[in-house]
Amino acid sequence: MQDLVRQWKDKPLHGRYRSRIEDNAIDTKASQGWLQSGNLFLETEGFIASIQDQYNMQNIKQWNCNGCVSHVNELRVMVRENDPFCIALQETYFRPETSFSLRNYNTYRKDVIPDRRARGGVALLVKQNIIAQEQRLDTELQAVAVRITTPFAATLHINLSILESDNEHTNRPTYTRPARIRSLEFQQANNISIRDVLQRAPYDTPPWTRSKPHIDIRLSVFLKNETAPQVYLARFKQITDHLHDHLFIYSDGSKSSTGVGASIVVNSVCHMWSLDPISSIFTAECYATWQALLFFALSSSLACSIVSDSLSVISSIGNNFTKDERISRILNLTSSLENDHKKVRFIWVPSHVNIIGNELADAAAKQAATMPPDEGIPTPLSDYVKHLKDTTKQAWQHKWDLYDGHMRSVQTSIEKWTYPKQLNRRQQTVLCRLRIGHCKLTHAYLLAGDHRPQCLACQTDLTVQHILVECRLYSDLRRELQMSSNIQTLLKTEWPKVMDFLLRSDTYTKI
């Protein structure tokens, strides 16, 4: 306790105890001086309470040790580094004859039940200076409980943490490597580098008080495949005729196998940017719109019309409560411009209808997509997540392509498979067993301890593939039902024929 007093002696009052002193009209500065001089008096109860809080903020460690005796050195290192007041151990492998003790700790344990479990055992190690009493539990579960009495307060604040090490798997090959390490290894193997993540900027003003951006999507009511380009041009001219004082900026984004680009066109002058290849087309369109706003902010014009062929971006801009970081920074900049009395209008036009500015922006964005990515352009986390998912699926698909088994012949893709809705529960079970290649007819021998069954007609191993496609015994029935010779087609699209085949061949109940 004296050590804690000395430790806190030179620290300023803070938190709720400072507030209490101030609320009671006590001179905080004077109290601070008294405390630092070591003259503790009754008015400093808050200070004493803060010391007690610090004293009662204890650490408890939990560890699945998989054999406490064999890993006692690791336990001692953990105690030396963390100094926990209590240690909860699982999988101790303690038996009644096992002797174990740890210096300065009392041990409360429940051992492995002889002749009932190969492993198990739990223990609680509590510091000897802590008042603790073991609680009797009327259960056969691997559990032990201890009642701890705190020296100062009725409530004990416990900081519970699980001891684990990223290097544990290197010392114990049977351990699965932590997910974080496996993720980093996967990223390195596939040259994935997560950097320059676009952060979501906080709203400059509450979204419910912000005026809604002016968006114009009137041209979207016309179906493109039913509307001539001349109609769009005429309608666009009607929209822009009264906007003589507006600065027109055309923005566009492009994504191809070569890269991702964004561009804006102002007075027939193109400005281009090349983005990270993993960026989505939505990100490119948003970036182009944001750059258009920046250009307008630096210009002397007081009104601007940003023309884009991305309906999704312009529609998203109309949502003041968006959680998308790409849209939120557009809204923040738009709001800032409005506060500076600079008006912004967003207009949607369809692509490739001979609107000159839009055509120039489209060509510039495609050109930017062929150039190396520009440095310093952040990428939203959602694009990184999608890229990681796509890369993971490609790696999984590649691994699946190398697999040589029945399931690979049934489903060549890793995409999710769902049951046909017309099947009842029994039919679903039958179809699923046929797909995985395991059914009573072909694998019941494993439970009986017999030899693998043979087809009596063909003198070959009895498999699902053989029954549905190859067996000579059912050739006539397959021709009658016009069944495909491809098992993937059978179990994917011709399952009604398969069900009929099983019923008529008297094998349905044996699946």
Closest Cα partner for 67 from 105, 94, 102, 98? 94
Domain identity same for 352 and 223: yes
pLDDT in tens, the chain (511 residues): 455 455 555 555 555 555 555 555 445 555 555 555 554 444 455 555 554 444 445 678 888 887 888 888 888 888 888 888 888 888 888 888 888 888 889 999 888 766 555 567 888 898 888 888 888 877 767 788 888 876 544 445 444 444 444 555 666 666 677 787 888 888 888 888 888 899 887 887 888 888 899 999 999 999 988 999 999 999 999 999 999 899 999 999 999 999 999 999 999 999 999 999 999 999 999 999 999 999 999 999 999 999 999 999 999 999 999 999 999 999 999 999 999 999 999 999 999 999 999 999 999 999 999 999 999 899 999 999 999 999 999 999 999 999 988 889 899 999 888 888 889 999 999 999 999 999 999 999 998 889 999 999 999 999 999 999 999 999 999 999 999 999 999 999 999 999 999 999 999 999 9
Cβ-based neighbour number of residue 251 at 10 Å: 32
Residue 225, token pair as written in the block: 């495949």
DSSP-assigned beta bridge partners for residue 86 = 60, 126
Residue 352, token pair as written in the block: 């490739």
Burial label, 293 (beta-carbon count in 10 A; 0-12, 13-18, 19+) = buried
- Cα torsion angle, 438, 442, 444, 445, sign: negative
Render 192-257 in DSSP notation, one character per residue.
Answer: ----SEEPPPPPSS-TTTSPPPEEE-GGGGS-GGGS-HHHHHHHHHHHHTT-TTPEEEEEEEEEET
How many angstroms separate the CA atoms of 192 and 210, rounded? 39
Our measurement of the distance from residue 349's CA atom to the centroid of its chain's CA atoms, rounded to an integer in Å, reads 36
Supply the pLDDT for residue 7: 54
Q: Which residues of 416-426 are buried (b: 16+ CB within 10 A; e: fewer)?
A: eeeeeeebeee
Q: Is 2 helix (H, G, I), strand (E, B) or coil?
A: helix
Is position 340 within any domain? yes
Domain identity same for 370 and 226: yes
Domain identity same for 370 and 434: no
Domain identity same for 441 and 344: no
Q: Is 110 helix (H, G, I), strand (E, B) or coil?
A: strand
How many angstroms separate the CA atoms of 178 and 175, rounded? 9
Question: Is 349 in contact with 358 (CB distance < 8 Å)?
Answer: yes
Domain identity same for 101 and 205: no
Domain identity same for 369 and 294: yes
How many angstroms separate the CA atoms of 364 and 371, rounded? 11
User: How many structural domains does the chain have?
Assistant: 3
DSSP-assigned beta bridge partners for residue 347 = 216, 307
Domain identity same for 226 and 117: no
28's enclosing H/E stretch is helix 28-36
Supply the pLDDT for residue 14: 53
Question: Which residues are CB-neighbours of 134 under 8 A, at least 6 positions away?
Answer: 108, 144, 145, 146, 147
Is position 389 within any domain? no
Domain identity same for 355 and 462: no
Residue 417, token pair as written in the block: 């498979």
How many angstroms separate the CA atoms of 171 and 314, rounded? 55
- Domain span at residue 41? 1-164
Is position 410 within any domain? no
Is position 77 within any domain? yes
Q: Which of 375, 397, 415 is the last residue of a domain?
A: 375
Supply the pLDDT for residue 13: 53
Question: Which residues are CB-neighbours of 291 under 8 A, at least 6 positions away?
Answer: 251, 262, 264, 271, 273
Supply the pLDDT for residue 47: 52
Domain identity same for 158 and 207: no
Is position 420 within any domain? no
How many angstroms separate the CA atoms of 511 and 506, rounded? 10
Cα angle value 143/144/148 (rounded, 5°): 145
Supply the pLDDT for residue 261: 97
Domain identity same for 496 and 429: yes
Domain identity same for 232 and 347: yes
Using the 8-state DSSP alphabet, how is residue 437 labeled? T
How many angstroms separate the CA atoms of 200 and 11, rounded? 37
- Identity of the residue numbered 382: S
Radius of gyration of the chain (CA): 36
Is position 188 within any domain? no
Is position 169 within any domain? no
DSSP-assigned beta bridge partners for residue 275 = 260
Give the chain's length.
511
Domain identity same for 154 and 222: no
Question: Which residues are CB-neighbours of 171 under 8 A, at least 6 positions away?
Answer: none
